[in-house]
Structure 1
Amino acid sequence: MLSNRIAVVTTTALAPVVWGTTYSVSTTFLPDGHPLLTATLRALPAGLILLAICRRLPRGAWWWRSLVLGALNIGAFFAFLFVAADRLPGGVAAVIGGVQPLLVALLASRFLAERLTPVTIIAGSGGLVGVALVALRAEAALDPVGVAAALLGAGSMAVGVVLTKRWASTESPVVTTSWQLLAGGLLLAALTLTTEPLPTSGVTLGAVAGYAWLAIVGTAFAYLVWFRGLAVLPTRVPAFLGLLSPIVALAIGTLVAGETLSSAQVVGIGVVLAAVGTAVTMGGRPGRDRDRSATGVPDTVVHN
């Protein structure tokens, strides 16, 4: 039903809307120079919260599948994301991350038999251009390590999204999301303890609030609705919805920091919204590319 599809798309869009607050929260409230610690404290508590709700552990092949998906969607992606954010201006990181919808569409056409149409390629290219207009600044510096981290993060998430869609599970999204977050969080914790020094300054109330927001709202809630949407929508739709994050980040800067929108940014917002709208409304391939159910749980394919 059309009304159900609209509801699922709207709910899924809440995830990138929330993710659009990550840069502002991280730079305002959290200590600088500790990207892996931030990633760990975002993923691991979120996984424990969801596991406490569902109280189900993986079985059979889902032990190693959860580890693989957790590493791609959470562990590697979060690590690369925060390293990129730590070394690049937010606009540069956003533009590089904007290639993800195209990567997802390409991989889905190869491994999920979803159609890669010229319209999808044009929409993906337009979305990337729109993000560049929204976020990129002329004086932005390109740190090679930061650029590499942003590209690897986009690639890791793209592969994880496609594998999430390809592998089947009869469990609900809250269950499989908890497994991924726990697996990724444990990998991040090990990486943090072995490679990154802990903060020497005291923990402030603002930092506690920032970590709580990222873990509870920005991860537990956001990834739950994101993976639920991925389970029942064509793979391209959640990927394109991710382009909304830079627009939300820009809106926060405009409302909170008093920044003024340029004409290029206004055009960029329109281009991004057009690209997202095209991906959402475009017809899907019958069968695998069709919405799976009115309840949000697919008949055979649950993303995770």
Structure 2
Amino acid sequence: MECIGTGSDVECVVPLTDRESKVVGKFAGRAMKTSGWSGDMASSSDRGQTILDNKNNPEGVVQVSVIDMVLETLLLISPFFFWGTAMVAMKGVLPKAGPLFVASFRLIPAGTLLIAFASSRGRKMPVGTSAWLAIALFGLIDASCFQGFLTEGLRKTSAGLGSVIIDSQPLTVAVLAALLFGETLGPIAISGLGLGIVGLILLEVHSVMVLGKSAEVGQWTLWDSGEWWMLLAAQSMAVGTVMVRWVCQYSDPIMATGWHMVLGGLPLLALSVWQQDPALSGHIQDLNINDWGALFYSSLFGSAISYGVFFYNATRGSLTKLSSLTFLTPMFATLFGYLVLDEMLSGVQLAGAVVTLVGIYMVNLKVGSETQDKVD
């Protein structure tokens, strides 16, 4: 295992055996047909359309069919699609189920599936106090805090706007990487950070203006802002991203991901019981089949499968290309928020979202280029 890069570039590259590559590839393929690393869809034996003729093609150029290219593109963007649409699914079921119940439901089943999958592939369980302590702290920050803040924020802001703020975490990661790992920030990254901050300010100023007008004088606080909760979620995710390097020193990264979901989901479930979320206070019968479908979608596709495909992509191809696609998540969230929930962004919100996404892209472009240089 080799850990490289920071931020939305996956730090830990996990080598897969041929058998694991085939299984994960088929697992991801099924996920797309039924619809929290670029790569080949499956092993060469599964790619009937890929032609490599050493005699007629002495330079070793691989010719890939259009179908293969489309499938690989779908596989590449599928985690971002699942993450974006999961935000919409969670938003729709929050009033009936309660935010902390939704957060715990997204984590615990997904983490259990990842642990079972990793075990079936022969991945080692965490061993020792250091490993479990690292995973527990990782779970507290990257799972409990992140999902708790996220679901609370979704109650008070749109799925698309919330996703933009959540995906601003590479801005914080870039700063943390410079402070903790001594990574330099060039002109492009610094400009991207500046743009990202301006965009987030535009988003938050709009929230303050709207809530300030609708609330009684003196009664509005920052905690009434969904954008503020989303910003806290983004910072939790950023710290969790930086922690990955440390956690992977003690545990297999796939096992650590699964266990951090389970351990991080348990406090959220306990808090859900304590604050009597509707789903756990005698109103679970109010959830219809669509609500349960949204819950299972956000857990199965929005967590377990999306993380599995993301891991698979990261081990098989370009981390630079993968990290540059971060901006797709809020685009999918905004599109499906409009189609499913009739959500719309105001002019100020749209301007803030665009500026933030441009800033995120610039930071990812810088980080991705450095990471690719290290790989080469």
Q: Which TM bucket (shorter chain)? A: 0.7 to 0.9
- Aligned counterpart, 1:67: 136
- Aligned counterpart, 1:245: 329
Q: What is the one-letter code of the residue matched to 2:91?
A: T
Q: C-alpha separation between the residues in 2 aligned to 1:152 and 1:207?
A: 27
- Aligned counterpart, 1:17: 81
Question: Secondary structure at 1:63's aligned position in 2?
Answer: helix
Deviations 1:181-232 (A, max 9, x none): 1111122222222233343331311111011100000011223345667889
Question: Secondary structure at 2:243's aligned position in 1?
Answer: helix
User: Is the Cα–Cα contact under 8 Å of residues 199 and 353 in structure 2 kept in the other structure?
Assistant: yes
Question: Secondary structure at 1:87's aligned position in 2?
Answer: coil
Structure 1: gaps spanning 5 or more residues? 295-304
- Aligned counterpart, 1:7: 38
User: Is the Cα–Cα contact under 8 Å of residues 106 and 299 in structure 2 kept in the other structure?
Assistant: yes
Within a 5 Å distance, the mapping from 1:91-110 to structure 2 comes to: 93-94=162-163, 96-97=165-166, 99-110=168-179
- Aligned counterpart, 1:79: 148
Please say if 1:50 is aligned against 2:81: no
Report the TM-score, using the length of structure 1 for normalisation: 0.74
Deviations 1:246-278 (A, max 9, x none): 221222244456778888788777656654553
User: Is the Cα–Cα contact under 8 Å of residues 199 and 354 in structure 2 kept in the other structure?
Assistant: yes
Please say if 1:34 is aligned against 2:98: yes
Deviations 1:267-298 (A, max 9, x none): 77765665455344436686xx457769xxxx
Q: C-alpha separation between the residues in 1 aligned to 2:361 and 2:301?
A: 25
Q: What is the one-letter code of the residue matched to 1:78?
A: Q
Q: C-alpha separation between the residues in 1 aligned to 2:269 and 2:346?
A: 41
Q: Percent identity?
A: 28
Structure 2: gaps spanning 5 or more residues? 1-12, 14-36, 40-71, 213-220
Q: C-alpha separation between the residues in 1 aligned to 2:358 and 2:38?
A: 19
Cα pair distance change 1:68/1:228, threshold 3 Å = farther
Q: C-alpha separation between the residues in 2 aligned to 1:251 and 1:283?
A: 27
User: Is the Cα–Cα contact under 8 Å of residues 102 and 125 in structure 1 kept in the other structure?
Assistant: no
- Aligned counterpart, 1:184: 264
Q: C-alpha separation between the residues in 1 aligned to 2:115 and 2:192?
A: 37
User: Is the Cα–Cα contact under 8 Å of residues 46 and 215 in structure 1 kept in the other structure?
Assistant: yes
- Note the C-alpha offset of 1:243: 3.9
- Note the C-alpha offset of 1:58: 1.3
- Note the C-alpha offset of 1:57: 2.6
Cα pair distance change 1:19/1:256, threshold 3 Å = same
- Note the C-alpha offset of 1:41: 0.4
User: Is the Cα–Cα contact under 8 Å of residues 134 and 246 in structure 1 kept in the other structure?
Assistant: no
Within a 5 Å distance, the mapping from 1:163-242 to structure 2 comes to: 163-169=243-249, 172-199=252-279, 200-201=282-283, 202=285, 203-226=287-310, 238=323, 241-242=325-326
User: Is the Cα–Cα contact under 8 Å of residues 95 and 132 in structure 1 kept in the other structure?
Assistant: no
User: Is the Cα–Cα contact under 8 Å of residues 54 and 174 in structure 1 kept in the other structure?
Assistant: yes
Cα pair distance change 1:272/1:227, threshold 3 Å = farther
Q: C-alpha separation between the residues in 1 aligned to 2:109 and 2:265?
A: 8
Q: What is the one-letter code of the residue matched to 1:219?
A: S
Cα pair distance change 1:173/1:192, threshold 3 Å = same
Of 14-23 and 255-264, the range deviating more from structure 2: 255-264
Q: What is the one-letter code of the residue matched to 1:165?
A: R
What is the root-mean-square deviation in Å for CA atoms of aligned residues? 4.1
Question: Secondary structure at 1:282's aligned position in 2?
Answer: helix
Of 9-18 and 209-218, the range deviating more from structure 2: 9-18
Cα pair distance change 1:190/1:128, threshold 3 Å = same
Question: Secondary structure at 1:57's aligned position in 2?
Answer: coil
Question: Which of the pair has more CA radius of gyration?
Answer: 2
Q: C-alpha separation between the residues in 1 aligned to 2:116 and 2:310?
A: 19
Cα pair distance change 1:33/1:83, threshold 3 Å = farther
User: Is the Cα–Cα contact under 8 Å of residues 133 and 268 in structure 1 kept in the other structure?
Assistant: yes
Question: Secondary structure at 1:184's aligned position in 2?
Answer: helix
Q: C-alpha separation between the residues in 2 aligned to 1:230 and 1:67?
A: 24
- Aligned counterpart, 1:126: 195
Question: Secondary structure at 2:111's aligned position in 1?
Answer: helix
Of 219-228 and 59-68, the range deviating more from structure 2: 219-228
Question: Secondary structure at 2:148's aligned position in 1?
Answer: helix
Give the number of equivalent residue pairs: 286
Cα pair distance change 1:101/1:165, threshold 3 Å = same
